[in-house]
């Protein structure tokens, strides 16, 4: 395939954007990067620079130098990789100014449009920037920020909290909670008055609200607490996993719920769920996280990595899980003496979740002259 290769750089914070620009780039335009493919000098590459607001900026570049990394025993993971030096010709002052404006404007769109199926290979520069909210008039901008915050919040809470109801809410309460939110956020109602960026946020919120409603009503029927709530829905297997409050509490009851659901809802009735727990688990998946941490404290980084990868299947948006995955992978790398790889994994961990203290501490240990971190120093961090 002769198409242009794409490099990805993701910055989780605006500081990282700044660091990328001032330190990672030499002379403001030269980027050196290790890539998993070969490229010839003179060929074109593009850089997808993902900003903390998840806006992706597409920058054109030209390969200046390419040198393949020799495979040796120590750096097996790097075999077949290439160091590229790329001149980012598209990183113009205008682009930088745009990024600055976005950085100054706080934290707009959480997500970008998925590329439409009919045009899978189109570049996304223009549309994505339009979604950042930076070009909105002042009043819409306030709304934009408010909706962004709301979306953030909804992404991080349990399903019943999305609908603003108690954990043991009945069918009517669930319906009313859902209806109120839909009435406020349905994209049809928002679309005619507002910019596409705002409609997009409204749609994202509505999606979360609808999903929460669908799951809660299915759970209610499965528990035998309602004959039907809205149109009957046969949940795909594993549907309720990932909705902490319903199925991962670890209690027998929720296991029964899950069982009931697997049986297509015909299983015997289950007693009502226990009263609401104080809500925690900001991004879901803390059960997985605890297991992985236990493994890391036992020095079993490889299995921790597996567990975390599995957990990410359920909670694809969890930053703590992601960063912990990178920490585990860094520890594995260190065990094989691959210091460079470990460092970059730890940096990535921090990029995904700036509060990942373990990553920061192991990085500190790595910076200590002449004394590579001992494994007990690392396992201790997870106790």
Partner 1 sequence: MTAGDGARGTRDSSARGNPRGATEARARPRGGQAVGIDLGTSNSVVAVIDKDGAPRILTTPEGSTTMPSLVWFSPDGPVVGELARAGLDYSPDLTIFGAKRLLGRRFDHPEIRRLSRVLPFELVEAPNGDTWIALSAGRSVSPEEVCALILREIRHIAEDHYGEPVTRAVITIPAWYDAAQRQATKDAAQIAGLTVVRLLSEPTAASLGHGAHRGADRRYLVCDLGGGTFDVAAVDVQAGIFEVLATTGDAFLGGDDVDRAVVDNLIRDVRSARGFDITSDTIAVERLRLAAQNTKHELSDVAVSKVYVPELVQLPSGRAVEYQKPMRRDELEQWSSSLIRRIEAPIREALRRCGRKREDIEEVLLVGGMTRMPVVRREIARVTGREPHVIPNPEEVVAVGAALEVARLEGAIEGVLLIDVAARGLAVSLGGDCEQVIAQSSVVPTREHRVFGTRHDDQLRIEFDVWEGESPDPAQNRLLSRYAVLDLPPAPAGDVLVLVEMTIDTDGTVRLGASELVSGERLQLEQLYHAGLARTDVLRLQRQFAETP
Binding residues vs partner 1 (CB under 8 A): 1, 5-6, 8, 10, 36-37, 48, 50, 56, 80, 112-121, 179, 182-183, 186-189, 191-196, 199-200, 203, 206-207, 210-211, 213-214, 227-237, 239, 309, 312-313, 316, 322, 325-326, 348, 352
Q: Which is nearer to partner 1, 119 or 371 (CB)?
A: 119
Q: Nearest distance from residue 125's CB to partner 1, in Å? A: 14
Strand extents, DSSP E, the chain: 5-10, 30-35, 44-50, 56-68, 82-87
Q: Which of 129, 62, 142 is nearest to 99 (CA)?
A: 129
Q: Nearest distance from residue 93's CB to partner 1, in Å? A: 26
Q: Which is nearer to partner 1, 290 or 302 (CB)?
A: 302
Q: Which is nearer to partner 1, 224 or 276 (CB)?
A: 224
Q: Rounded to the nearest 5°, which phi and psi values hold at 63?
A: -75, 125
Q: Which is nearer to partner 1, 15 or 188 (CB)?
A: 188
Query: Is residue 315 within 8 Å of residue 241, measured between CB atoms?
Result: no
Q: Nearest distance from residue 380's CB to partner 1, in Å? A: 25
Q: Nearest distance from residue 274's CB to partner 1, in Å? A: 27
Q: CB-based contacts of 85: which residues, under 8 Å, 6+ apart?
A: 30, 31, 32, 63, 64, 65, 66
Q: Nearest distance from residue 231's CB to partner 1, in Å? A: 4
Q: Which of 78, 86, 72 is nearest to 33 (CA)?
A: 86
Q: Which is nearer to partner 1, 120 or 250 (CB)?
A: 120
Residue indicated by tokens 């079993």: 300
Instruction: Report the alpha-carbon distance of residue 339 to residue 103 in Å, rounded.
Output: 33
First to last CA, the chain: 48
Q: Which is nearer to partner 1, 120 or 369 (CB)?
A: 120
Q: Nearest distance from residue 242's CB to partner 1, in Å? A: 10
């Amino acid at each position: 395939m002769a198409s242009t290769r794409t490099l990805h750089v993701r910055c989780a914070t605006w500081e990282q954007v700044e660091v990328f620009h001032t330190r990672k780039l030499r002379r403001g335009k030269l980027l050196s990067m290790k890539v998993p493919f070969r490229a010839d000098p003179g060929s074109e590459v593009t850089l997808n620079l993902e900003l903390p607001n998840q806006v992706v900026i597409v920058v054109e570049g030209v390969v200046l130098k390419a040198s393949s990394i020799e495979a040796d025993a120590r750096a097996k993971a790097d075999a077949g990789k290439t160091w590229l030096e790329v001149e980012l010709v598209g990183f113009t002052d205008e682009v930088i100014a745009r990024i600055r404006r976005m950085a100054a404007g706080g934290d707009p769109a959480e997500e970008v449009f998925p590329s439409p199926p009919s045009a899978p290979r189109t570049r996304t520069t223009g549309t994505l920037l339009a979604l950042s909210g930076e070009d909105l008039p002042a009043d819409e901008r306030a709304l934009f920020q408010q909706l962004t915050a709301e979306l953030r919040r909804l992404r991080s809470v349990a399903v019943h909290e999305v609908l603003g109801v108690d954990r043991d809410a009945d069918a009517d309460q669930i319906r009313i909670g859902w209806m109120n939110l839909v009435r406020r956020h349905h994209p049809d109602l928002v679309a005619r008055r507002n910019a596409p960026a705002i409609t997009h946020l409204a749609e994202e919120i509505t999606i979360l609200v609808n999903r929460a409603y669908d799951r809660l009503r299915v759970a209610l029927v499965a528990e035998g607490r309602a004959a039907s709530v809205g149109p009957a829905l046969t949940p795909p297997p594993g549907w309720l996993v990932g909705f902490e409050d319903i199925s991962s509490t670890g209690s027998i009851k929720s296991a029964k719920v899950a069982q009931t659901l697997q049986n297509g809802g015909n299983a015997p009735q289950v007693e009502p769920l226990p009263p609401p727990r104080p809500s925690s688990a900001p991004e879901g998946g803390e059960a997985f996280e605890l297991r992985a941490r236990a493994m890391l404290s036992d020095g079993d980084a490889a299995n921790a990595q597996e567990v975390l990868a599995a957990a990410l299947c359920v909670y694809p948006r969890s930053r703590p899980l992601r960063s912990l995955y990178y920490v585990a992978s860094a520890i594995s790398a260190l065990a094989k003496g691959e210091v460079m790889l470990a460092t970059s994994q730890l940096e990535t961990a921090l990029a995904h979740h700036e509060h990942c203290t373990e990553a920061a501490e192991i990085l500190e240990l790595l910076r200590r002259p002449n004394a590579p971190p001992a494994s007990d120093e690392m396992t201790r961090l997870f106790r």
